[in-house]
Amino acid sequence: MGCNLRDLANAENLDLESLSGQKIGIDAFLTAFQFLTTIRDRSPQGDGGPLKASNGKVVSHLMGFLNRTTSLLAIGIKPVFIFDGTPPDLKSDEIAARRERREEAKRIHQEAMAAGDFALAQKMAQRFISYTPEMVEETKQLLDLLGVPWVDAKSEGEGQAAVMAKLGQLDAVATQDWDALLYGTPVLIRNMMTAGNKQHGRIVKAQKINLEEMLSEHELTRSQLIDLAIMIGTDFHPGIKGIGPKTGLKLIKQFGDIETICQEKDKQVPENLAEIREIFHNHPAHEVNSEELVMGKIDVSGLKQFLQVDRQFSQRRMDNALDKLQNAGLIAESGQTNLFSF
């Protein structure tokens, strides 16, 4: 998930209601993986995989997107989901490493299931879950039925969202990936899609990080923040051995850039440094017409067909989602969209 800038960020807890009226670009792929790894089979002898309908279709991602998206709409947030495009070539080593870790987890999972060690199997299952192209298309279908806009990124989803935020098309970017700050989003929202959930005995709080405030606090330029991240390690380079966030911050403030630091500390300059910098400074992005980011109509009958009839969603689950929309005035009792609410 990119470079970990947690130690540098002065994150501010916030209530999601404070984002009412704002257009938030949401990292669709990371959101999907959050749902797929949490909404899964945890029964005593379950395999730990995503939940499925009786016809065998995986539905965990749709359950998560339906519940969380309707909750956001109900409090006045205007979500725009951003889907990953083609990753940069420089990410190939990281992708290969992830694939290897998934295969190893899958092997351990199969052995655990055969041995009846369901606890280990469930632990491993979340490490090789895949968000398939079919699931991606299903998610887009659901968003269309909810009238929620989505965008296909040219490359990294959080990079596309950051570019749109810099252009003023989005008020903030919601992702767990700290790289969104390196791509230049003025405002990063973390934990937006899990806020209110209980994790490790604590209630998850949404957090807001302001890029300019972060740079000002540490007396850095964005270029220096990017160099600092490259030294720590990103998806495009493993980093410089022995340099973590605190040491890196001290060095970048003392010497100004990676080249000088490497010269002074007898370190090797990271390979493909110019290309990595360019990815962060000028990330490839599709041009998006702002008119495409406007909320559309909510198709209640279409939602019922898509989720209840085709994927066996329970009446209770559908009622919970539709009640939120109705109570917020987004649909009338007849199921028609109330356009005056947008």
Predicted local distance difference test score (pLDDT) of residue 238? 92
Per-residue tokens: 211: 């890029």
DSSP state of 309: I
What is the distance between the alpha carbons of residues 196 and 212, in angstroms, rounded to a whole number?
27
Selection from 232, 193, 269 nearest residue 6 by Cα? 232
The secondary element (H helix, E strand) that includes residue 108 is helix 92-115
Q: Where in the chain is the domain with CATH 3.40.50.1010?
A: 1-218
Q: Within 13 A of 150's CA, how many CA atoms are on the CB side? A: 25
Q: Which CATH architecture has domain 1-218?
A: 3-Layer(aba) Sandwich (3.40)
pLDDT at 340: 37
Query: Phi then psi for 337, rounded to 5 degrees?
Result: -65, 135
In this predicted structure, what is the pLDDT of residue 339? Answer: 40
pTM across the whole model: 0.92
Identify each DSSP E strand in the chain by its residue range: 12-14, 23-27, 78-83, 150-152, 172-174, 187-190, 198-199, 202-203, 206-210
Phi, psi at 52, each rounded to 5°: -130, 150
Query: From CA 197, how far away is CA 288, in angstroms rounded?
Result: 33
Q: How many CA atoms lie within 13 A of 189 on its CB side?
A: 27
Architecture of the domain spanning 219-282:
Orthogonal Bundle (1.10)
Block residue for tokens 């009338």: 332
pLDDT at residue 201, rounded to an integer: 84
Q: Are residues 315 and 283 in contact, defined by beta-carbon separation less than 8 angstroms?
A: no
pLDDT at 59: 97
Sheet strands (E) in 28-152 = 78-83, 150-152
Range list for CATH 1.10.150.20 in the chain: 219-282
Taking only the tens of pLDDT, the chain with its 342 residues reads 567 888 888 899 999 999 999 999 999 999 999 999 999 999 988 899 999 998 889 999 999 999 999 999 999 999 999 999 999 998 988 999 999 999 999 999 999 999 999 999 999 998 999 999 999 999 999 999 999 999 999 999 999 999 999 999 999 999 999 999 999 999 999 999 888 888 778 899 999 999 999 999 999 999 999 999 999 999 999 999 999 999 999 999 999 999 999 999 999 999 999 999 999 999 999 999 999 999 999 999 999 999 999 999 999 999 999 999 999 999 976 555 544 343
Q: Can you tell me the distance from the alpha carbon of 270 to that of 196, in angstroms, rounded to the nearest whole number?
A: 40
Question: What CA–CA distance (Å, rounded) separates 269 from 150?
Answer: 39
Sheet with strand 12-14: strands edge to edge? 12-14, 206-210, 187-190, 172-174, 23-27, 78-83, 150-152
Helix axes 133-146, 28-38, angle to 10 degrees: 100
List C-alpha distances in Å: 327 to 99, 131, 249: 44, 32, 49
Per-residue model confidence (pLDDT) at position 45: 87
